[in-house]
Structure 1
Amino acid sequence: MTAPVPADVISRLKAVLGPDGWSEDPDRIAPKLVEWRDRWVGTTPFLALPKSTADVAAVVGICFEAGQPITTQGGNTGLVGGQIPQGEVLLSTERLRTIREVEPYDDVLVAEAGVTLSQVHAAAADVRRRFPLGLASEGSATVGGVVSTNAGGTQVLRYGMTRNLVLGLEAVLPNGEVWNGLKRLRKDNTGYDLKQLLIGAEGTLGVVTAAALKLFPVMASRAVAMIGVATPEAALELLTRAKDETGGAVEAFELMGRLGVEFALRNIPGTRDPLAAPHSWYVLAEFASGEPGSAEGAMARFLEAGLEAGLIGDAVVAQSDSQARALWEIRENQSPAQKPEGATWKHDVAVPVSQVPAFLAETNQAMEAFAPRARIAAFGHVGDGNIHYDVLRPNGGSDAEHVARRDAGSRIVHDIVARLGGSISAEHGLGSMKTAEGARYKSDVELAAQRAIRLALDPKRILNPRVLF
């Protein structure tokens, strides 16, 4: 918990924000103080609601002068607690919601930080373009949030992380100055790429107020299939075949264990078992092409070859957009479906794609020894090596006892990840949850470099002070 916010700082913030630009109403603030899994509950005496970049600059400038810490929050969809204040001023970007420009010739869309991903998708579609960053939370996740956490999503295999999809940024630096880096250039070799420092910095090096986002053509054909496989090794072999068959047109290649599918069937109304019989593992594959009929043809050839090779037990191909959506909802509801099942140790990790089967086998064995009868729900983006490895309490077990062993269990998972050359945070960031743990796996050289950068830009450490190094 940070020190109380001085009364004179609050008075100055109220003056620059105007009567509709702030709140001290506990009911207005309360939804912003709880993370959706209820793991983090915060507190703040003051909610800043800037409606412009100038407002953000004024708020940050006042706080920098006073040495007053700030936590920035977008759509509050983060899963590692970095957006939940612990006594700091809470700066919400919810009123920065203008789409400033959509330019199809440049294939760029400029959106303010509070615009949701769904709104970006709709604005791009209006000019027959697409922004290929898809998240289960896209109805509430905001541009500023996905930039600050370098969000991944389901299309990373083809299009890369958020940092691959941003051309330029506008941000307020920790001293209150505005950096206008909203370039739309694909080439600019004129010094350090400051936007890449801010992307993934979790709000510690500046408050992102707007972003210039890359747009892409709308695909003429698309095919989605749910595939039953026996092992992660079979899924990995199918991924290689999919890349070869499509020439790089694999949009997504997701892996789910049977237990996660059963949770969705039990806890998400309207969910149907995707295949006639249960399978140990499921692959959700999506191909897309600019050529009409090409994706469908590639999917048919891919599945036929996989069946002949004995890699596929069964498969179903979506015959309509609604069927494709239903298959995707099974994948996107993997986390919500766990919520009624009790306490869970959640891990967002990445290993080299080739090591995904080894990671799953070794970690399952380690968890069986450490937490017998615990239920393992593993799923994720096998195409880029990002696995969400979740350990749920045993049926009939105690939530409190399971939570008490979480840190020790997570250390086992993270040690295996590190040994395989992986990362303990693939796409959700470190936040409050993993900052201390993250330092354990970084070299002294890397930590010193990261701390030097932060000290240079934020010598008073006012922005998200509890997050990162």
Structure 2
Amino acid sequence: MDDFLQQCRAVIGSQYVLIDNADREPYETEWRQRYRGQSLAVLRPASTSEVADLVKLCRQFKIGIVPQGGNTGLVIGGVPDSSGNSVVLSLCRLNKIRTIDAANNTITVEAGCILKQVQEAADAGQRLFPLSLASEGTCTIGGNLSSNAGGTAVLRYGNTRELCLGLEVVNANGEIWDGLRGLRKDNTGYDLRDLFIGAEGSLGIITAAVMKLYPKPKAIQTALVALYSPSAALDLLNLSREEFGPALTGFELISAICVELVHKHFPDIPLPFSDAYPHYVLLEISDHESASHAAQLTESVLEQALESGMIADAVIADSMSQTNNLWKLRENISMAQAAEGKNIKHDISLPSSCIPDFMKTTAQLLEGHVNGCRLVCFGHMGDGNLHYNISPPVGVSDQDFISNQEAIHRLVHDQVHAYHGSISAEHGIGSLKREEILRYKSNVEIQMMHAIKSALDPDNIMNPGKIL
């Protein structure tokens, strides 16, 4: 491999070809420290042409390529396997904001741009880039596109796929496809863009993208609502859609134990209610009229819900500080659950109408399987995406609980399938769920996916072992 590495050095410079164990380790380790692979080297190109040259070399030497952005993935999709036969291709040096076209409401960015950087560039141009994730300070646009990331504003703006108009991609032959077109209508054949979005780098390497921007709202209004059941949350969602219309931006369902764990491990975050309730909804609207209009509309809708008995109580944020504190209750759930101990996670999606019944029946099944297990359920109810996590019963060791992991996965995923849902809503497949999807996708689907993979990556060098 000395010849291969020497040619890589000639393309991008010796300092950007990392071969020492200590230098490679951050790129080879999944960010939760649950898995570490091994690579031949970490390559850090700075341009699309350098990426193309490296791909040509990898194809020539038959070396697998694991594209990586901010390494914030949750399905072991951006780190290598343990064979040491592939390279990690880090795109973090491709981090330029190429252009902002405010009149066309688009921004063209390179794949290594941090999501927060794109948000701030849009804001400086008096526009909104609405994609928002807990990892927005470290995740990259390339990774967001490759996993078709969701986040908290999908209800209003859609997944990353819906926010993308065009791509620049290096294919498995090392050729550059320039599809950076800021068009909202382009009916000239197969939609190649959509093939690469959500493909987790298994078909080609996204190096840049044209993303949609939006006018900045005049006001954002946030409220935390207390209610007694997921069925009441569904009723509130339907009412909110009717009354707020397209202004409804976020609708996050939070179970009581989520708030309890956040308060336990982050006691500085204030509790908005003096009493505890079984469920909460964090609701947000983006208003293009005025702050007073947003406040009046929110008050009117919540008063209607309160008078009808749909909800038990509500707190409407009256300052940015209070808004931030309400969101901290939501954003710190995963960290609080991690601080509590090991847990078994599920990133699932269902028709919103099925969520109450799914939660009820699945909880009953889990209780029969693991008596006293704690269901830390939260997520984007407005678009049907739940993070359905299970913590061990009080007093049960992490090790004993995790021994049930496969059985619990099977129970939950079988339930999701029974409700015509998906076992991966926004985190992707990676290698973590590669075998699992075989249980729930038809043979026809799997065969078509293999056909696409074989056509675009016949040598199987693009993120081998991921998805398929």
Deviations 1:85-104 (A, max 9, x none): 12221111111110001110
Separation in structure 1 between the aligned mates of residue 32 and residue 405 of structure 2, nearest angstrom: 15
Shift of 1:25: 2.8
- Tell me the equivalent position of 1:17: 12
Query: Of 74, 89, 97, which aligns to 2:95?
Result: 97
Separation in structure 1 between the aligned mates of residue 133 and residue 454 of structure 2, nearest angstrom: 33
Separation in structure 2 between the aligned mates of residue 56 and residue 262 of structure 1, nearest angstrom: 47
SS in 1 for 2:243: helix
Query: Of 74, 77, 98, which aligns to 1:82?
Result: 77
- Tell me the equivalent position of 1:291: 289
CA contact (8 A) 1:166 1:212 kept: yes
SS in 1 for 2:360: helix
- Tell me the equivalent position of 2:442: 443
Query: Of 93, 109, 112, which aligns to 2:110?
Result: 112
SS in 2 for 1:345: coil
Separation in structure 2 between the aligned mates of residue 190 and residue 150 of structure 1, nearest angstrom: 23
Q: Which amino acid aligns with 1:428?
A: H
SS in 2 for 1:378: strand
CA contact (8 A) 1:72 1:464 kept: yes
Separation in structure 2 between the aligned mates of residue 372 and residue 41 of structure 1, nearest angstrom: 33
Is 1:308 aligned to 2:307, yes or no?
yes
SS in 2 for 1:424: coil
Deviations 1:89-120 (A, max 9, x none): 11111111100011101111111111011000
Q: Which amino acid aligns with 1:118?
A: K
Q: Which amino acid aligns with 2:300?
A: R
Separation in structure 2 between the aligned mates of residue 337 and residue 60 of structure 1, nearest angstrom: 41
Separation in structure 2 between the aligned mates of residue 279 and residue 37 of structure 1, nearest angstrom: 31
Is 1:160 aligned to 2:158, yes or no?
yes
- Tell me the equivalent position of 2:410: 411
Separation in structure 2 between the aligned mates of residue 196 and residue 297 of structure 1, nearest angstrom: 40
Separation in structure 1 between the aligned mates of residue 393 and residue 24 of structure 2, nearest angstrom: 36
Separation in structure 2 between the aligned mates of residue 175 and residue 396 of structure 1, nearest angstrom: 55
SS in 2 for 1:389: strand
Shift of 1:405: 1.5
Note the 1:45-444 alignment, pairs <5 A. Answer: 45-86=40-81, 87=84, 88-292=86-290, 293-444=292-443
SS in 2 for 1:434: coil
After superposing the two structures, state which structure 1 stretch, 135-144 or 10-19, moved more. Answer: 10-19
CA contact (8 A) 1:22 1:46 kept: yes
Query: Of 22, 30, 38, which aligns to 2:33?
Result: 38
Separation in structure 2 between the aligned mates of residue 20 and residue 321 of structure 1, nearest angstrom: 44
SS in 2 for 1:465: coil
Q: Which contiguous aligned blocks of 4+ residues in structure 1 show a shift greater than 3 angstroms?
A: none
Deviations 1:158-217 (A, max 9, x none): 111111000100011111111111000110000011110000001101111011000000
Q: Which amino acid aligns with 2:365?
A: A
Separation in structure 2 between the aligned mates of residue 403 and residue 36 of structure 1, nearest angstrom: 20
Instruction: Give the total of aligned pairs.
Output: 464
TM-score, length-scaled by structure 1? 0.97
Separation in structure 2 between the aligned mates of residue 268 and residue 59 of structure 1, nearest angstrom: 45
Separation in structure 2 between the aligned mates of residue 11 and residue 19 of structure 1, nearest angstrom: 8
Unaligned residue ranges in structure 1 (runs of 5+): 1-5
Q: Which amino acid aligns with 1:361?
A: K
CA contact (8 A) 1:221 1:296 kept: no
CA contact (8 A) 1:70 1:91 kept: yes
CA contact (8 A) 1:182 1:211 kept: yes
What is the aligned-residue identity percentage?
45
- Tell me the equivalent position of 2:456: 457
CA contact (8 A) 2:145 2:198 kept: yes
Q: Which amino acid aligns with 1:331?
A: R
Separation in structure 2 between the aligned mates of residue 203 and residue 56 of structure 1, nearest angstrom: 13
SS in 1 for 2:433: helix
Separation in structure 2 between the aligned mates of residue 443 and residue 66 of structure 1, nearest angstrom: 35
Separation in structure 1 between the aligned mates of residue 34 and residue 337 of structure 2, nearest angstrom: 14
SS in 1 for 2:226: strand
After superposing the two structures, state which structure 1 stretch, 29-38 or 192-201, moved more. Answer: 29-38
TM-score, length-scaled by structure 2? 0.97
Shift of 1:269: 5.0
- Tell me the equivalent position of 1:3: none
Is 1:27 aligned to 2:26, yes or no?
no
Shift of 1:28: 2.4
Separation in structure 2 between the aligned mates of residue 267 and residue 43 of structure 1, nearest angstrom: 34
**Cα RMSD, aligned residues only:** 1.1
Separation in structure 2 between the aligned mates of residue 456 and residue 176 of structure 1, nearest angstrom: 15
Shift of 1:326: 1.1
CA contact (8 A) 2:27 2:42 kept: no
SS in 1 for 2:38: coil
Deviations 1:207-229 (A, max 9, x none): 11011000000001221000111
After superposing the two structures, state which structure 1 stretch, 206-215 or 273-282, moved more. Answer: 273-282
Distance 1:91 1:195, change over 3 A: same
SS in 2 for 1:223: strand
After superposing the two structures, state which structure 1 stretch, 62-71 or 133-142, moved more. Answer: 62-71
Separation in structure 2 between the aligned mates of residue 305 and residue 375 of structure 1, nearest angstrom: 33
Unaligned residue ranges in structure 2 (runs of 5+): none
